[in-house]
Amino acid sequence: MKQFGLNLWGEENFVIEGDTVNVNYASRPSLLQLTKEIREKGYKGPLLLRFPHLIKKQIDTLFTTFAKAKKTFDYKGSFHAVFPLKVNQFPNFVQSLIEVSHEYHYGLEAGSKAELIIAMTKTPLGAPITVNGFKDKEMIALCFIAAKMGHNITVTIEGIGELKTIIEVNEEFNGSSKSPVVPKIGIRIRMHSAGIGIWAKSGGYSSKFGLTSTELLEAYELMTRYDLLSHFWMIHFHIGSQMGDIAPLKKALREAGNIYAELKRRGADALGAINIGGGLAVEYSQHTHTQERNYSLEEFANDVVFLMQEIAKSKGVEEPDIFTESGRYIAASHSVLVAPVLELFSSEYNAKCLRLKKENPPLIQELYDLYTTIERKHAREYLHDALDHMESLLTLFDLGYIDLEDRSNTEILVNLIIKKAIALLKDEGTDELKKLQDRIQERYLVNFSAFQSLPDFWGLSQHFPIMPLNHLSTKPTNPASIWDITCDSDGEISFNREIPLYLHDIDLTKEEYFIGFFLTGAYQEVLGMKHNLFTHPTEVVINFDENGDYHIEHLIEAQNLMDVLEDLDYDTGLIDKALKHKIEESTKITAEEKRELLGKIYLYLSENSYLKTIQALSEKEQGVHT
Ligand SMILES: *Cc1c(COP(=O)(O)O)cnc(C)c1O
């Protein structure tokens, strides 16, 4: 894999320069340099780096692309966008999002009361807030409060029941008022055209959300009767996330556009906007044959604008304002998870680790000779001999004829022979070689939790781009599988010959090696789970000043052990007492040792669950062999 597919998924956000992958912006710091700087301050374990300039880039691109499409078609409606908070509600993210988007009146979308509170607090007055999802009376009351604060808020009703609640709340809030303040009303329509992919349930007839045509007519009548029609101004749909193909969107646009036009012709005069939800896809693939998206943002914007215009024209109604709620597209690229490699498992298959005896079993002696004399012209033959000898030696071990040291020597020698043979025969690329290569793949133990930091890998097999932060001028040769530090076998990104990942052969006793996981900014953080009680990694925001210099800011350290337990509602006071008591009451240790142990345990409790490097340990082990 050249450049780890950076040209496919990277959007020129990062660039390989010499040995390292650098931020392709301002002073272009390398990710390695940033990582080292943060680690030097004492923050070990995985790190989440946030780049607000990348959030800004996505927002700029979204708005300018739609502006261009509007210009091309001379479209009369305006364009607006909101960020759906469910995609990332973390304060460092939301704060950056608001800071970089001032000029666009970019707003927020909320799907729950807690998200609505964030939206009411963070959205600049005048920028749109949209509220989707199921709502009770209290949530609708919050929307009225937001409107009374002066917010430009649209509450989207997902069912007739919600409209009835709006009528009720309106009565309570505005009653006899001469100048009632009412949030704008949107209606989510239940599409006939189905949603797409694994999120198909978001759209389509079986969707949890939206009104059918019959319900729409009923809602129309209710709004007329209760004087709310003048507040009804938006049609909303959302067909699902990570839309790889543009076709379903076009279908949905036609359907929604015609519903918009029909309602306007019926007399919904205030109706003036169509909200196309999210779904804009992100390219996560590192390989050309597995690309996930078949359209560009230009095509997407042109389709939306063109189709809306066409329908408005043919039905003789105004062109609607267009709203999008793209979340993944805005947030995915802004963060990079950096995690240190703790161990390469096959480092034990090293010639240094051989424990050859004065007298070795003859087959082992032969393996050793194969290893030392293998050359290209007979590499394949030697390889077959080695595999054959290994089978015999393992049988001899099972039968009790050779000992554990012999078995260890067998494993090491056969591995070394396979590696040598593959190197010698590498331009042949036969199937047998590929299979062997899979067999000697290197397992990289990486200090992170896939459940916490890449939950969609675990839950949906979503691929995320992976690459090391340095050695990038050297061709990586180890077929790699990545193991996280949870005790769960699902926490493994195994080597896949269809989308192979090769990493470098590193001596971790001599240097550190970091893996970057990219495009982790959408959905992963809040979906991340505390499996094995690993928590959200330590995070930082990387801002650049006018001179192009970077600043590492807003560091939030991963939760410490006690905080994690407290989150599970353990009484940490009791835990604290129990630990202290058990040490103090122990009859196995002296008073001085007790004091020492207490000190240690308090230190550990103030730290997070991720592993400290285990390098020192392997160094000692190496000492034994050499
Ligand atoms: C989830 C969601 C979005 C965001 O979808 P993306 O695919 O992340 O752009 C937008 N609108 C609604 C109603 C949603 O539920």
pLDDT tens by residue, 157-167: 999 999 999 99
d(CA 33, CA 49): 12
Task: Take atom 3 of ligand 1 and give the residue whose Cα is closest.
Answer: 278
In the reported structure, the alpha carbon of residue 259 is separated from the centroid of ligand 1 by a whole-number distance in angstroms of: 21
pLDDT at residue 430 in the model:
77
Q: Are 311 and 319 in contact (CB under 8 A)?
A: no
Taking each helix axis from N to C end, the angle separating 297-315 and 52-73, rounded to the nearest 10 degrees, works out to 40
CA distance 84 to 56: 16
Residue 360 confidence class, pLDDT cut points 50, 70, 90: very high
Q: Distance from the CA of 280 to the center of ligand 1, in angstroms?
A: 9
pLDDT of res. 613: 65
Query: Is the pLDDT at 374 greater than 50, yes or no?
Result: yes
pLDDT tier for residue 625 given thresholds of 50, 70 and 90: very low
* pLDDT tens per residue, range 338-358: 999 999 987 778 888 899 999
Band (pLDDT 50/70/90 cuts) for residue 285 is very high
Average pLDDT across the chain, whole number: 92
- The yes-or-no verdict on residue 46 having pLDDT over 70 is yes
Q: CA-CA distance, 275 to 322, in Å (whole number)?
A: 6
Closest residue by CA, ligand 1 atom 4:
278
Beta strands in 384-477 (DSSP E): 442-446, 466-468
Mean pLDDT of 377-388: 93
Q: What is the mean pLDDT of residues 323-338?
A: 98
- The predicted model gives 408-434 an average pLDDT of 86
Predicted confidence at residue 435, as pLDDT, reads 77
For ligand 1, pick from 131, 132, 190, 241 the residue to mutate: most ligand atoms within 8 Å of CB: 241
Atom of ligand 1 nearest to the CA of 242: 7
Distance 84 CA to ligand 1 centre (A): 6
What is the tens place of the pLDDT at every residue in 220-276?
999 999 999 999 999 999 988 999 999 999 999 999 999 999 999 999 999 999 999
Question: Mind listing the pLDDT tens digit for each residue in 578-606?
Answer: 999 999 999 999 999 999 999 999 989 98
Q: Is the pLDDT of residue 307 over 60?
A: yes
Inform me whether the pLDDT recorded for 138 exceeds 70: yes
Q: Are strands 232-236 and 184-188 parallel, antiparallel or unpaired?
A: parallel
Q: Which residues line ligand 1 (CB under 6 A)?
A: 84, 86-87, 132, 238, 241, 277-280, 325-329
Instruction: State the closest ligand 1 atom to the C-alpha of 328, by its place in the atom list counted from 1.
Output: 8
**Ligand 1 nearest-atom number relative to CA 522:** 8
> Which residue's C-alpha comes closest to atom 15 of ligand 1?
238
pLDDT of residue 623: 41
| pLDDT over 50 at 85, yes or no | yes
The amino acid occupying position 595 is R
Domains of the chain with bracketed CATH? 6-50+336-346+441-556 (2.40.37.10), 75-325 (3.20.20.10), 351-438 (1.20.58.930), 565-607 (1.10.287)
Report the share of the chain in percent with pLDDT over 90: 81
Gap from CA of 243 to ligand 1 centroid (Å): 11
Pocket test for ligand 1, best of 55, 93, 97, 109 (most atoms within 8 A of CB): 109
pLDDT at residue 419 in the model: 85
pLDDT at 346: 78
pLDDT category at 195 given cuts 50, 70, 90 is low
pLDDT surpasses 90 at 192? no
Mean of the pLDDT values across residues 531-551?
95
- For the cut 70, the answer to whether the pLDDT of residue 196 exceeds it is no
Atom of ligand 1 nearest to the CA of 331: 8
Question: Residues 396, 405: contact at Cβ < 8 Å?
Answer: no
Q: Which of 115, 71, 65 is nearest to 89 (CA)?
A: 115
Question: Looking at the predicted structure, is the pLDDT value of residue 454 above 70?
Answer: yes
How far apart are the CA of 480 and the centre of ligand 1, in A? Answer: 34
Task: Report the nearest atom of ligand 1 relative to the CA of 156.
Answer: 13
Residue 609 in contact with residue 536, Cβ under 8 Å? no
pLDDT value, residue 201: 52
Mutate-to-test residue for ligand 1 from 324, 325, 328, 330, highest number of ligand atoms within 8 A of CB: 325
User: Which residue has a Cα nearest atom 11 of ligand 1?
Assistant: 277
